[in-house]
Amino acid sequence: MPAVEYQHDTDPKQALLDKVGDISGIEIFGSDVLLALYTPPEKTKSGLIISDDTRNEFKFQGKAGLVVKLGSTAYRDEQGNKFRDIEVGDWVCFRPSDGWPLQLNTRRTRISKDGIVDCRIITDINIRARVSHPDEIY
């Protein structure tokens, strides 16, 4: 059971994938992986309201993300054989200090808070585990 059960009105995976949208113009190199960072909703199942400041900290201290793009050699050995079955759409966890933070502007025509997705580019070996749901990680 997760440390805190959040009240999700929509599936967080689908919501992030929808917000990221078409990223076919982004090429991730080598063994790097592009993760969309998970930010929990503002309310827990018990009705506790999570402040915006606390939720905002997830972009710096969050440990869970959704794989949205893989580099061409991510999780592949020198012969091209896959050694781990991490795929786009998997929830993974990592150390907050690993990787390079960035924001995707999914609107492209203008910068809008609704069109910004906090992400991290991280080397495949720095992804520590796959989880079934990001609320399992705190």
pLDDT digits (tens, 9 = 90+) for 21-77: 999 999 999 999 999 999 888 888 888 888 888 888 888 888 999 999 999 999 998
CB atoms within 10 A of CB 76: 17
What average pLDDT does the chain have? 88
Q: Is the pLDDT of residue 134 over 70?
A: yes
Q: For strand 91-94 and strand 127-131, is the pairing parallel, antiparallel, or unpaired?
A: antiparallel
Residue 59 has what pLDDT? 81
pTM exceeds 0.95, yes or no: no
CATH of the domain spanning 12-133, picked from 2.60.40.420, 2.30.33.40, 3.10.290.10, 2.115.10.20: 2.30.33.40
- State mean pLDDT over 11-24: 92
Tokens for 49? 């309201």
Tell me the mean pLDDT in the region 103-120: 74
Q: How far is CA 115 from the centre of its chain?
A: 15
CA distances from 78 to 22, 30, 51, 125 (A): 30, 12, 47, 15
Hey, which residues does 67 pair with through a beta bridge?
35
User: Is the Cβ–Cβ distance between 83 and 77 less than 8 Å?
Assistant: yes
Query: Which pLDDT belongs to residue 57?
Result: 82
Region 79-92 average pLDDT: 92
8-12, 43-47, 109-113: least confident range: 109-113
- Is the model's pLDDT at 137 over the cut of 90? no
Looking at residue 1, its pLDDT comes to 47
DSSP annotation of 39 reads -
Percent share of the chain, pLDDT over 90: 55
Q: Is 27 helix (H, G, I), strand (E, B) or coil?
A: coil
Beta strands in 7-112 (DSSP E): 32-37, 64-70, 91-94, 100-105
CA distance 98 to 35: 12
Domain ranges in the chain are: 12-133
